Amino acid sequence: MAEANAVTGWDGVLSDWSADKEAFHGVPWGKSMMWIFLLSDTFIFTCFLTGYMTVRLAATAPWPVPSDVFALTLFGESIPLILIAVMTFVLITSSGTMALAVNYGYRRDKNKTFWLMVATAALGATFVGMQVFEWSKLISEGVRPWANPMGAAQFGSTFFMITGFHGLHVSVGVIYLLTVAIKVKRGHYDKKGYEIVEITGLYWHFVDLVWVFIFAFFYLW
């Protein structure tokens, strides 16, 4: 039975949205929308990675060896995948700080929640910075979306597209984290609760999980 004072029309939509109505039993509107967004994003990344596998298996030219392409020379020695290992460690660590931020958010500890979210954003920005360095290194070595001196030309197009799309997600996540963190610090969620911190965490954990698949497909295969 509809509520007696229910608002209809577009005014009702705006009223429901701003009131954070529960779309499903026990699930707030914001969390439901984030899950729907992440589901749609999962389809996109799945299509990208499936396309990558198809292109790689169909390529007639030899595919570049990841341990050679992504090696760095340190102290006169070529170390394979060292940068990728550090990038992965940084992103996984950021999942830990984000989980702690959610925990302290529900405890209503504004100070610890703020600094843990800032730490998560800093780790995310560090990851993006290392990805920029990785891109610049490959570009300086002649890798392009349409050409690749180290093997199959399709390598460049798939690599830049997929890692670039993921890097965009991380960059947006950093801005999202800092925005929410500042609002937490200012007491914006003191009355309405800290559900937004968990919603932010859902996005960030998704970004980290996608990287695990990119890491396996591009750097280990």
Neighbour tally for 177: CB within 10 Å = 28
Sequence spans of domains, the chain:
23-220
Reported pTM: 0.84
Q: Which of 147, 164, 167, 165 has the alpha carbon at shortest distance from 156?
A: 147
Residues of 206-221 as b/e, b for ≥16 C-beta within 10 angstroms?
Answer: bbbebbeebbebbbee
β-partners of residue 69 are none
Does the domain at residues 23-220 carry the CATH identifier 3.40.50.170? no
| Bridge-based pairing state of the strands 22-24 and 77-80 | unpaired
> Per-residue pLDDT for the chain (221 aa), expressed as one digit of tens each?
444 455 666 766 666 666 655 555 566 778 888 999 999 999 999 999 999 999 999 988 899 888 888 888 888 778 888 999 999 999 999 999 999 999 999 898 999 999 999 999 999 999 999 999 999 999 998 999 888 888 888 999 999 999 999 999 999 999 999 999 999 999 888 888 788 999 999 999 999 999 999 999 888 88
Please give the Cα distance from 159 to 214 (Å, whole number). 10
